[in-house]
Amino acid sequence: MRLLILADIDDLHWVHGTGQAEVLLSCGDIHDEVILEARQAFGCPTVFAIKGDRDFDKPFLPPIIDLHLRVERHGVLTFGGLNDSWRYKPRGFVHEQNGAKLVLTGFPYVDVFASHNSPRGIHDTEDETHYGFEALNDYISKAKPRLLVHGHQRVNKETEVGATQVIGVYGYRVFELAEHSSIVGT
C-alpha cells in the first residue's frame, strides 16, 4: 500500500507535485485545504489526519477522517493517531507527559500510528518546543506498531525501535507499506 505522509507544511496550497497513493496520512500543522489539494494531486481515496500544536480547534473538512484516539481500517491495515505536542505554550493541541500517557493508556494495536509529536529521545530535542512524548515510547514497547510516523520536529529521519519503524516527516514523504513485510521509503 502506498502512503503519502504529510507534516508541517507552511504553504497555503499544495505545490509539491503529483503521484499516486492509496492513503494520505497528515501528521499535523497543515491547512485542510493543502491536505485536500495533496489528496487530489496523488489520487488518494482515503485521508486520515491528526492535529498539531499550530492547528485550529475545528473539525477537519470532509472527506478528511480525524484519527485522534481512533482506530480506522483501510484494506487489511489499521491506523490510529494522537494529536498534540509537548506543552510549550498555554493553549492549543498540547499535553504534559502525564496527559499524553493518560490518553494513550489502553490504546489498541494498530499497524500505522500517526502522531504530531515524536517519541521521547527519538528525533526530538531538549528545547522547550520539540520535546518528545514518553507515552509514545511506552506505546511502541507495548503495542509494537509496524510504523509510527510523526511531524513537529521538522526532520526527515527513520529509526528502528524493535519491530517498529519510526519515521519523522517534514513536508511530505511517500512510502510503500507491504501488507506483511517491511517498509520501503521513496
Specify the pLDDT at position 54. Answer: 75
pLDDT digits (tens, 9 = 90+) for 28-71: 999 999 999 999 999 999 999 999 877 778 999 999 999 999 99
Residues with Cβ within 8 Å of residue 71, at least 6 apart in sequence = 78, 79, 80, 108, 110
Provide mean pLDDT across the span 6-19.
95
Specify the pLDDT at position 131. Answer: 73
Specify the pLDDT at position 55. Answer: 78
pLDDT digits (tens, 9 = 90+) for 110-159: 999 999 999 988 887 777 777 788 899 999 999 999 999 999 888 899 99
Q: Which residue has the cell 485550529?
A: 56
**Domain interval for residue 61:** 2-185
What is d(CA 180, CA 90) in angstroms, rounded to the nearest whole number? 42
**End-to-end alpha carbon distance in the chain:** 13
For residue 168, the domain's CATH number is: 3.60.21.10
How many separate domains does the chain show? 1
Residues with Cβ within 8 Å of residue 14, at least 6 apart in sequence = 34, 37, 38, 40, 41
Angle at 47 between CA 43 and CA 48, to 5 degrees: 155
